[in-house]
Amino acid sequence: MMRKWPRRVRAPFLPVRRPTSLAERAFITFERVIKGGLFACSMCGNCLLQETAFICPLRCPKGLRNGPCGSGSLEHCCVDPDRPCAWCLIYWRAEQMGRLDRLLEVQAPLDWNQVGHDTWHQLIRLAWQRGLFAPRYLSDREAWLQQVEQLFYDLRQPDWWQGDDAYHPPHSDQPVSRLQAALQRGEFVVTAEIAPPLSASGESVQRTADSLRPFITAGNITDNPMATARTSSLACSLLLLQHSMEPVLQVTARDHNRLSLQSKVLGASLLGVRNVLCLTGDPPMDGPGAVGALPFDLDAVQIVWILRKMRDQGIFLDGRPLKEPPQLFLGATGTPSAPDLGMEARRLHKKINAGVQFIQTQLVYDLDVFEDWLEALDKRDLLSKAYILAGIGPMRSVRAAHYLAENVPGVRVPTDILKRMEQASDPREEGVQIALELIERLKEMPGVSGGVHLMAMGWESVVPLLVKEAGLMSRFSD
Ligand code: SF4
């Protein structure tokens, strides 16, 4: 049920630096009361209302400023099920208002120096400096509106960010990793997810690397999956490299701020880790124990934007030059079974514009839905800009099938597949058979330009069997 009046997620932020004048103090109070009542404003000091159909993006508990994480809906936010997803509301209202295209612009992370301060004061001061109150604009409304647009752009896009809605292709086609090279050669690639251990021993990672090496092109090391602390994804990626397996390092917005992100990825690149998958991360509430910080410092789109600029422009986020830019192949995730296909396509459009080169999808069980998703991307001419690797997860039991169908956001298991699992005399064998049939059809599907991403969910020993039975060993013969 949608509420009539917006509800704040948190108390408004207080300024970190003291307001410098009485006027500023008055504006802060005024804005907090008016915008608080009308828009549930959190006083982020970097207002985006103009771009977000007049719904405050800070109503998202994660503080995402570039779109939804993919786990929410108009009924439920993934962090607080008692409220709608703020970004689903924004897309819905923007569609009503004919302002959807505004959502493609890549927005900056918060400048915490501005947080708690007002925006109106800055707006009026800048408008005054630019002469927007001058009588000459009385007769030229078009010119005035253009100037006002520019004014809002300059306020929301500081010099250190300068986000836009354009596509930014990589500066070089030269592959920086085996995964990128294989994709560029047009191979049907297999990647697989490897969960890091819950210990300071790397034995299990080494064992998995040894058993999967002949069968996959790269292994994804997840970053604290289900918001549960595990051995670092960077350490495990290095272990994979030492055991001759190419890693895909996962970095989540949940577990990184802007400084730790940049230093981690630079370190990863110098160690030889080149594939980086950028994600928002599961909600902190999914993990055990007390919940960590909200809102996040960054979102997945901002991570991609920062890393692409480090690689292609050779600069840190703060503008300092990098002596040696990192070599990176940038990826992100997609959700083919998202409830709103239009919103999902726009979400991926923004990520690809920001710099994403490959997409690994959430688990796919319904190929009709997956084809619709590919078509939605194709209409936006995105399939030629990023490689698509479809997520495949063999189900181990009837319970696992029902768990996926009922509890995992963004996964749709059709009833005929659930029935097959329920009626099978050996559900494990049936789960493998279903996965093989899906791979078989995906191999023929135009638009699946990358291959498959296997998510065995703790059943990594099934990966060699799947690869062999699916006839995907031949790609290693040369
Ligand atoms: S974007 Fe920031 S300033 Fe604007 S309404 Fe939301 S919290 Fe307030």
Q: Structural domain tally of the chain?
A: 2
Say whether both 40 and 131 belong to one domain.
yes
Q: Is residue 7 part of a domain?
A: no
Percent of the chain whose predicted confidence (pLDDT) is above 90: 79
Q: Is residue 370 part of a domain?
A: yes
Q: What is the DSSP string of 5-39?
A: S---SSPPPPPSSPPSSHHHHHHHHHHHHHHHHHH
Predicted local distance difference test score (pLDDT) of residue 448: 86
Say whether both 207 and 333 belong to one domain.
yes
* Tens digits of residue pLDDT in 23-56: 889 999 999 999 999 999 999 999 999 999 999 9
For atom 3 of ligand 1, the residue with the nearest CA is 47
The residue among 156, 188, 218 that closes a domain is 156
Which letter does DSSP use for residue 249 in this model? E
pLDDT for 329 beyond 90: yes
Say whether both 350 and 445 belong to one domain.
yes
Residue from 49, 62, 152, 157 whose mutation best tests the ligand 1 pocket (most atoms within 8 A of CB)? 49
Average pLDDT estimate for 406-418: 92
Predicted local distance difference test score (pLDDT) of residue 1: 46
- Would the CB of 53 count as within 6 Å of ligand 1? no
When pLDDT is cut at 50, 70 and 90, the band that residue 475 belongs to is low
Atom of ligand 1 nearest to the CA of 48: 1
> How far, in Å, is the centroid of ligand 1 from the Cα of 161?
18
CA distance 197 to 333: 23
When pLDDT is cut at 50, 70 and 90, the band that residue 402 belongs to is very high
> How far, in Å, is the centroid of ligand 1 from the Cα of 145?
22
Handedness of CA 346, 349, 351, 356 (dihedral sign): positive
Atom of ligand 1 nearest to the CA of 44: 2
> How far, in Å, is the centroid of ligand 1 from the Cα of 87?
14
CA distance 159 to 338: 35
For atom 6 of ligand 1, the residue with the nearest CA is 56
* Tens digits of residue pLDDT in 273-324: 999 999 999 888 888 888 878 899 999 999 999 999 999 999 999 999 999 9
Say whether both 183 and 129 belong to one domain.
no
Q: Is residue 10 part of a domain?
A: no
> How far, in Å, is the centroid of ligand 1 from the Cα of 448?
39
* Tens digits of residue pLDDT in 131-155: 888 888 778 888 889 999 999 999 9
Q: Is residue 172 part of a domain?
A: no
Predicted local distance difference test score (pLDDT) of residue 424: 95
CA distance 359 to 478: 26
> Which two structure tokens, joined as six digits, stand for 147?
């100037």
Average pLDDT estimate for 342-368: 97
The CATH number for 291's domain is: 3.20.20.220
Predicted local distance difference test score (pLDDT) of residue 478: 46
pLDDT for 260 beyond 70: yes
Say whether both 90 and 199 belong to one domain.
no
Q: Is residue 2 part of a domain?
A: no
- Would the CB of 57 count as within 6 Å of ligand 1? yes
> How far, in Å, is the centroid of ligand 1 from the Cα of 36?
9
Predicted local distance difference test score (pLDDT) of residue 8: 80
Q: Is residue 11 part of a domain?
A: no
Predicted local distance difference test score (pLDDT) of residue 138: 76
Predicted local distance difference test score (pLDDT) of residue 241: 96
For atom 5 of ligand 1, the residue with the nearest CA is 41
CA distance 79 to 169: 34
Atom of ligand 1 nearest to the CA of 59: 6
Say whether both 351 and 429 belong to one domain.
yes
Say whether both 246 and 147 belong to one domain.
no
Average pLDDT estimate for 362-375: 96
C-alpha distances (whole Å) from 34 to each of 26, 38, 43, 277 are: 12, 6, 11, 41
> How far, in Å, is the centroid of ligand 1 from the Cα of 163?
18
The whole-model pTM stands at 0.94
When pLDDT is cut at 50, 70 and 90, the band that residue 326 belongs to is very high
Domain of 128, in residue numbers = 22-104+112-156
CA 334-380-170 angle, to 5 degrees, is 70
Average pLDDT estimate for 3-7: 66
Percent of the chain whose predicted confidence (pLDDT) is above 70: 98
Say whether both 193 and 144 belong to one domain.
no
Say whether both 145 and 199 belong to one domain.
no
Phi, psi of 359 (to 5 degrees): -125, 125
Say whether both 338 and 189 belong to one domain.
yes
Q: Is residue 1 part of a domain?
A: no
> How far, in Å, is the centroid of ligand 1 from the Cα of 54?
9
* Tens digits of residue pLDDT in 144-184: 899 999 999 999 999 999 999 999 999 999 999 999 999 99
Predicted local distance difference test score (pLDDT) of residue 250: 97
Say whether both 213 and 314 belong to one domain.
yes
> How far, in Å, is the centroid of ligand 1 from the Cα of 99?
18
**For residues 253-272, b (16+ Cβ closer than 10 Å) or e, as one string?**
bbbbebeebbebbbebbeee
Instruction: Compute the mean pLDDT over every residue in the chain, rounded to the nearest whole number.
Output: 93
Q: Is residue 226 part of a domain?
A: yes
Predicted local distance difference test score (pLDDT) of residue 4: 60
pLDDT for 259 beyond 90: yes
> Which two structure tokens, joined as six digits, stand for 230?
């595990």
- Would the CB of 48 count as within 6 Å of ligand 1? yes
* 390: β partners: 452
Predicted local distance difference test score (pLDDT) of residue 477: 47
Predicted local distance difference test score (pLDDT) of residue 476: 55
Say whether both 215 and 335 belong to one domain.
yes
Atom of ligand 1 nearest to the CA of 39: 5
> How far, in Å, is the centroid of ligand 1 from the Cα of 130?
24
Phi, psi of 260 (to 5 degrees): -65, -35
* Tens digits of residue pLDDT in 66-116: 999 888 888 888 888 889 999 999 999 999 999 999 999 999 999 999 999
Please provide the size of the chain in residues. 478
The residue among 156, 190, 218 that closes a domain is 156
Atom of ligand 1 nearest to the CA of 12: 7
Predicted local distance difference test score (pLDDT) of residue 292: 79
